[in-house]
Structure 1
Amino acid sequence: MTTNPSVYKDRVDALIQKSVYISRDLSWLQFNHRVLDQAKNKKRNVLEQLKFIAITASNLDEFFMVRVGSLYNYIDYDKQRLDYSGLREDPFRATLLEQLQELVQDQYSFYLSDIAPKFPENNFSISNIEDLTENERTSANEYFLKTVFPMLTPMVSDAYHTFPMLMNKLLCFGVVTKEIEDGKENNKLSFVQIPQNLPRFYEIFREDEMVFVPIESIIKANIDKLFRNVSITSVNLLRITRNGDYTLEESEDLETDFIDEIKRKLKTRKTGRVVRLEVEPNANKWMMQYLSSKWDIDGYNVFEVPALIDFTCIWQIVNHSAFKYHMPSSKKPVTPITLRFDDTEDNIFNIFKERDVLLHHPYNSIEPLLKLIEAAAEDPNVLAIKITIYRVAKDSRITNALYKAAENGKHVSVLFEIKARFDEENNIREAKRLQDAGCFVIHGIGYLKTHTKMLLIVRKEGDKVTRYVHMSSGNYNEDTSRLYTDIGFITTKEIYAHDVSEFFNAITGHSNPQKYDYLLTAPISMRTDLISLIRQEAKNAKAGLPSGIIVKVNSLQDDKFIDALYKASQAGVPIKLIVRGICCLRPSRKGLSENIEVKSIVGNYLEHSRIFYFHNNGDPKVYGGSADAMVRSFDRRIESLFLFVDEKCKKETMTILDYSLRDNVNTYIMQEDGTYIKPEINNEKPFDAHKEFYKLSEDAIKDVTLF
């Protein structure tokens, strides 16, 4: 007896809606829909729209490699998995990939109907070789013969040749040919992989237009030069995505070379199982059956792409020098509120010694922090520098300063997290460079990822030692500081310095501090500490006292944390959540979460700051830091949140929450079913937090109230 597909789907949908949690992966799909909605914004010019199309494509690549790859780790090795949606592995796979198909269809449909038609009026086009003039075709063909042709290597798959190992995320032609063997006509499949170091587009400059010719169009037009005297049946462009998820197991073998283990894991990304096949429409049926069998995939994994395969290639157009004036110019950062006074002091140490400073990026430049680290590298009174690094810029001023400090004889300790996903190779390279300079480099802590962002500078000043502390929600990366919204906090207060010193000793050695005064740390106690703060708000509400919780994070997924919020909501605590991406909490459900509101802010900047606010009966406790409310953050990462005690810094942090809640331009409101709607502004005055923070005044932070 077979089940009616519509009945089966109804049962799956009912099970999903019954769950008190939203699936992490289905919630992520909703996030990428919000990113795609940025491309649909009619106020954006065509290059801005293309930028967001490219971002959605990059997001999808990572999602398939990591999250879909992780799902297949369960399916391929016959391990059970129960998703937050209430679904087991196979029905969840079907649901997830169906929704991914819908997202991709939406992505390409909008590109073809709304974006591509605008190219001519913006003086450029994406054209196949057939659409060029005769002279232009001659030029493109010469480019093929001189540059492209020597790089191409046809790889046949037959009884005499092993099946080639196609590279992850690279464009490839599947070429089906015919030959007669023993009087029978047989198909043969060959692959021609397009080298990754070739530009995706061949550029032609016309008098009033730039023409971008996809490299695959040029190769396809000349494919016969690779298969001379062979009967070609079909030529189809395709691209595979492989499982890029891996888990480092904790090893008790102290002799294991941790770096080599990471390098071995990185290699599996090139050979991991195929989780997605993107292909042109109407591809050769025999080839598709052959590949589906070879890679153990089915129709759910096959994505027919009606236009450019791999929209990340659009960055070549968006970032082209010919269009640099078409993209909105970056606003000039403003002086931080906590540094706004008439100060002629040249010594940067004296400036930070006088007051706590809050940096809010990108509205405030990262320059004060960079100057502090660079000054520390050169200052003869600086004795030591300790820092945790997760991701750095390609040409990092920070690692350059650490290198210089070590050369100058200072003690430099760097906890370099080489397991930062997709940045491992750059981190390994930079860590080796620092180690060669004499830095004490620690490559992560076993199976834990060091995600906390901390800097400690020890400086001798007269007959005493002052410790300069920086803690942040963002990476020590000057490039992303211009694109991500983050908070950074600089202080010389002794209690912070003591906490941070103790924390460094704990994560680099065997120290086990009993308590911290101003830090919440993971994996030891962050979850329980945060839940205690939530429970206190619930107690206050039950006692008739003022209460309230506001949390701003990238992702909210930990079920124990969510359960605590549900109970606080039921106790009458008003709860406002600002969650950029994944949110597994189900808001506004009767009897469960009626007092919880969830919004997401998606716009020109990537929201990255994490802030936790607890009303505390009118004496707010406000924490900032690097941790999201996720299982991995609480259990599998070294994380920290720091308490704001300086009144001015606390007020500014509360203003960040206030402006985020007031934003009605970049805002999406989460519904009980996990979908999001963009609220209508109507007669309400537009409030764009990404613009208003540039205008932030001292009066605004003095008057801030949240409940």
Structure 2
Amino acid sequence: MAASSANETDYQGEAGESTTTGLRINRSKTGVRASTPSDNIPELDDPRLYFNRELSTLQFHIRVLEQALDESHPLLDRLMFLLIFSSNLDEFFEIRVAGLKHRIAFGHEEPSVDGHSPSSVFAEIARLAHEQVERQYHILNNHLIPALADQGIHFLRRTQWTKAQQAWVHEYFDDEIMPVVSPIGLDPSHPFPRLVNKSLNFIVELEGHDAFGRTGGMAIIPAPRSLPRLIRVPDSLGREGCQEYVFLSSMIHAHASKLFPGMTIRGCYQFRLTRNADLSVDTEDVSDLASALKGELLARRYGDGVRLEVANNCPEHLSDFLLAQFRLDRRDLYLVDGPVNLSRLMSMIGDSDRHDLRYTPFTPGLPKVLKSDESLFDIITREDVLLLHPWESFSVIENWLAEAARDPNVLAIKQTLYRTGADSGVVNALVDAARNGKEVTVVIELRARFDEADNIALASRLQEAGANVIYGVMAYKTHAKMLHIVRRESGQIRHYAHMGTGNYHAKTARLYTDYSLMTAREALCEDVHHVFQQLSGMGEPRHTEHILHAPFILHSRLIEMIDREARNAHKGRKSHLIIKCNSLTEPQLIRALYRASQAGVQCDLIIRGTCCLRPGVAGVSENITVRSIVGRFLEHTRVYHFHNAGKPETWCSSADFMERNMFNRVETCFPLLDRRIAKRVRKDLDTYMLDNCQSWQLQSDGHYEKRQPGEGEAAISAQETLLYAYSARA
């Protein structure tokens, strides 16, 4: 089932004519052609040519939810997709919806490039989000839970507990829950508590008198965050060969009366508040970024409310009471048919030993060139090495750093870190290198969203080991993925570099697709050196021979390369470009792609998530296709390929086609100078273009249509194809 866009009703005319927008939609599949001048062709800054960013982002989350219905995925992975949707939606409300509500509250109703005001976008988000949340719980209750039960995995409701299980729950409540729960009665001396962002809570209606003679009213039970939300029933108390689970919320519901002795509970209902979690640090007034962020991290837990989730059996007067406490209206209320904090169910997937219900594990391979006892330095000196994670092992990077940390000939190591994870092999190697007397410089981005606390701790650990830690540039997040190693060889200084499209994070390298380039090419290494000098020192932008870097030249050069394809098309030369990235929102880049399409350039875009470009508009974007690949692995590679009149150029980058990447971050974009490697990446792109199993094609009306194998056509999953191809290569 294709997810529908907010703009789906824009196109309902016949013969490609829009009844509401006046845009003419080209439904032709005849191939590339140059546009002819027409009075009906809109200007390229016409708001009708752009989809709204927030609504497009929500559409991506809906495509993730669709995976929960896709029976080609193993059952527990289908559940995982549903939980990821829940987690994604949390962040969407914490950041994107919170930002909209902030602009609305302060009267900032200026329309964005798509012509929509914050109020109109928020109204459409509320409609879509309510619809999809209801659908999410329908999928959970009517598809996944019954399917899991058929496989012997049960989520037990209170009415399903056996007497033995009731006794076990009773004991568990007394021993594990009662000692740490603090119910809060609401009266003039006990005002409504300040609840932590996304925490599980219960509102309770009471009758009777308490020990102090106070009459019943309402109380709040905050569920301690230290308690698991899902508890496995001992195997001895369950059905043989089954895994049975009880929700913490069910335990609290069953025994809430113990928390209010002598009083009668008229109702107990779970709820959860989502707050604004975007950090705001005034870069002009901060003298110590780390200290400022520590203060903001505390505030994040208690930002303004943006969404209230309540059990769907909660009486209206209680939900209205909660809305009033958080200064929200009924559009912000989400009634749910199940646990209000679904993402906490991920613990069950990790706990389960039902490997038959998960994707078959695989061991990331190694290119043949690395399958020897030879030093990585010697191998990289001879040839560039490109890895594609997760199919090729991230441990190569960790091992290279570990080797550098031990190597007496290594003089210095410089590295950027955006997200890296706990107990990182990369960080361990940097610590060892610093302790071994190497000159270690690490540029840590403290403002990596939701990793700020981890990165502050990481910075302290590296500083204690003797590394030089730099927090980047105050007004620009350092998002580039770079490593620079300086080594003395035969009396000469030799440089090595690694550049990638993804983070130095071993866990996500098993889940995200990313390219990693290791090179000893002098020009590339010199460019990396210059970018590091720019980050650590001061002065005008440093010249780079090959690398394109933001916020300086990346944006303008990308537009130049897109326009070059358009010029070649105008001259009758073959022209083609492929852009693969996570998001496409930057208006000037979108307009450049429109110009290329008008010139007759075939523009194939593989955009995983947010896409503000509208394909298929006659005279504007009829030569543009937009695909989104959603599957087992999170697509994360950023690759830009240009035909360039038969002299193809292929680039990898840390940057998406977004305003923030082009103008507000430090990013790098590097060419694949080894023709063998460039051809291999081009072949990978072709594989994605052929996908007809996990590929969603963006239509002119804004909805995504899932591609299906045609009659007699082979089913092709790009991710599975690459998994087998790289396994064979290894």
What TM-score results when the alignment is normalised by the length of structure 2? Answer: 0.90
Cα offsets for 1:10-52 (capped at 9, x unmatched): 99x9579972111111111211121111111122332121111
Within the candidate set 68, 76, 89, 1:47 is matched to 76
What is aligned with 2:297?
266
Contact 1:388–1:414, Cα closer than 8 Å, also in 2: yes
Match of 1:324 in 2: 355
Amino acid at match of 1:618: G
Structure-to-structure mapping, 1:1-400, within 5 angstroms: 19-178=48-207, 188-204=217-233, 205=235, 206=238, 207-251=240-284, 256-336=287-367, 339-340=368-369, 344-400=372-428
Q: Percent identity?
A: 35
2:645 aligned partner: 617
Which amino acid is the alignment partner of residue 175 of structure 1?
Answer: V
The alpha carbon displacement at 1:293 in A equals 1.7
How do 1:488-637 residues align onto structure 2 when only pairs under 5 Å count?
488-637=516-665
Deviation at 1:696, TM superposition (A): 3.4
- Taking the aligned partners of 2:69 and 2:727, their CA distance within structure 1 comes to 36
CA distance in 1, matches of 2:225, 2:214: 35
CA drift of 1:625 comes to 1.5
Alpha carbons of structure 1 residues 187 and 586: separation in structure 2 relative to 1, 3 Å: farther
* Matched residue SS, 2:270: strand
1:679-699 deviations in whole A, cap 9, x for unaligned? 220321112221222343899
CA RMSD after TM alignment = 2.2
Specify the SS of the correspondent of 1:79.
coil
- 1:479 is matched with 507
Larger relative contact order, structure 1 or 2 (CA cutoff 8 Å, min sep 6): 2
Decide whether aligned partners of structure 1 residues 16 and 215 sit closer, same or farther in structure 2, where only a CA change above 3 A counts: farther
Aligned-partner SS, 1:552: strand
Q: 2:460 aligned with 1:460, yes or no?
A: no
Residues 94 and 276, structure 2, Cα contact 8 Å, conserved in 1: yes
Q: Distance in 2 between matches of 1:16 and 1:527?
A: 31
* SS of equivalent residue, structure 2 residue 323: helix
Q: How does 1:374-453 map to 2 (within 5 A)?
A: 374-453=402-481
SS of 1:283's partner is: coil
Distance 1:260 1:631 in 2: 28
The 1:699/1:301 distance shift into structure 2, 3 A limit, reads closer
CA 518–667 in structure 1, closer or farther in 2 if over 3 Å, else same: same
Q: For residues 623-644 of structure 1, what are the alpha-carbon distances to aligned partners after superposition, in whole Å with 9 as ceiling and x for unaligned?
A: 1010000011011111110011
2:218 match: secondary structure = strand
Partners of 1:55 and 1:200 in 2: how far apart?
Answer: 17
SS of the residue corresponding to residue 369 of structure 1 reads: helix
Q: Residue type matched to 2:257 in 1?
A: D
Counterpart contact for 1:469–1:492, Cα < 8 Å? yes
Aligned residue for 1:435, secondary structure, equals: helix
Instruction: Map Cα deviations across residues 91-112 of structure 1 (whole Å, 9 max, x no partner).
Output: 2211111111111112111222
Distance 1:81 1:242, change over 3 A: farther
Structure 1 residue matching 2:343: 3-state secondary structure: helix
3-state SS of paired residue (1:150) = coil
Instruction: Work out whether residues 15 and 86 of structure 1, in 8 Å CA contact, stay in contact via their aligned partners in 2.
Output: no
Matches of 2:373 and 2:631 in 1, distance apart?
37
The 3 A distance-change label for structure 1 pair 102 and 348 is same
TM norm structure 1: 0.93
Matching of residue 681 in structure 1 with residue 691 in structure 2:
no
Report the secondary structure of 1:401's partner residue.
helix
The alpha carbon displacement at 1:567 in A equals: 1.1
Structure 2 CA distance for aligned equivalents of residues 553 and 602 of structure 1: 13
Return the alpha-carbon distance in structure 2 between the equivalents of residues 495 and 594 of structure 1. Answer: 39
Distance (Å, rounded) in 1 between the aligned partners of 2:453 and 2:279: 15
Task: Name the SS for the 1:173 alignment partner.
Answer: strand
Does the aligned pair in 2 maintain the 1:555–1:629 contact within 8 Å?
yes
- Whether the 8 Å CA contact 1:24–1:84 is kept in 2: the answer is no
Q: CA deviation at 1:463?
A: 1.4
Segments of 5+ residues of structure 1 without an aligned counterpart are 1-8, 701-707
The question of whether the paired residues in 1 share the 8 Å contact of 2:531 and 2:542 is answered with no
Look up the equivalent residue of 2:265 and give its one-letter code: I
Preserved CA contact (<8 Å) 2:577 2:641: yes
Aligned partner of 1:644 in structure 2 is: 672
Q: By how many angstroms is 1:89 displaced?
A: 2.1
| Contact 2:559-2:592 within 8 A present in 1 as well | yes
Q: Is the 8 A contact 1:386 1:455 kept in 2?
A: yes
Distance, in Å, in 1 between the alignment partners of 2:540 and 2:677 is 30
CA distance in 2: counterparts of 1:92 and 1:285, whole angstroms: 27
CA offset digits 1:104-154 (Å, max 9, x no partner): 112111222211212222112101233111111001110000110111011
Maintained 8 Å contact 1:448/1:636 = yes
Which amino acid is the alignment partner of residue 411 of structure 2? L
Matched with 2:35 is none
**C-alpha separation between the residues in 2 aligned to 1:689 and 1:286?**
51
**Mapped partners of 1:450, 1:16: distance in 2:** 42
Q: CA deviation at 1:188?
A: 2.9
Conserved 8 A contact 1:664-1:679: yes
Q: Which residue of 2 aligns with 1:3?
A: none
1:623 partner SS: strand
When structure 1 is superposed on structure 2, of 25-34 and 495-504 the one drifting more is 25-34
Structure 1 stretch displaced more, 313-322 or 618-627: 313-322
* SS of structure 1 residue aligned to 2:78: helix
Mapped contact 2:488–2:494 kept (Cα < 8 A):
yes
Contact 2:598 2:620 in 1 (8 A): yes
Could you tell me how far 1:536 is from its partner in structure 2? 0.9
Q: Deviations over 1:51-84 (max 9, x none)?
A: 1111111111111111111112212333334234
- Secondary structure of 2:231's match? strand
Q: Once structures 1 and 2 are overlaid, which stretch shifts more, 625-634 or 98-107?
A: 98-107
How far apart are 1:177 and its partner, in Å? 2.3
Q: More deviation in 97-106 or 379-388?
A: 97-106
**AA partner of residue 265 (structure 1):** E
Moved more, 106-115 or 629-638: 106-115
Distance 2:20 2:538 in 1: 50
Question: Structure 1 CA distance, aligned partners of 2:280 and 2:605?
Answer: 30
Q: Tell me the number of residue pairs that the alignment of Structure 1 and Structure 2 aligns.
A: 684
Residue 10 and residue 330 in structure 1: after superposition, are their counterparts in 2 closer, same or farther (change >3 A)?
A: closer
Task: Compare 487-496 and 516-525 and name the one that shifted more.
Answer: 516-525
Regions of 4+ moved over 3 Å = 13-18, 178-181, 184-187, 694-700
Task: Kindly state the Cα deviation for residue 249 of structure 1 after the two structures are TM-superposed.
Answer: 2.6
Cα gap change, 1:91/1:15 in structure 2, threshold over 3 Å: closer, same or farther? farther
Kept in 2: contact 1:474–1:487 (CA 8 A): yes
Equivalents in 2 of 1:122, 1:629: separation in Å? 44
Q: Which amino acid aligns with 1:52?
A: F
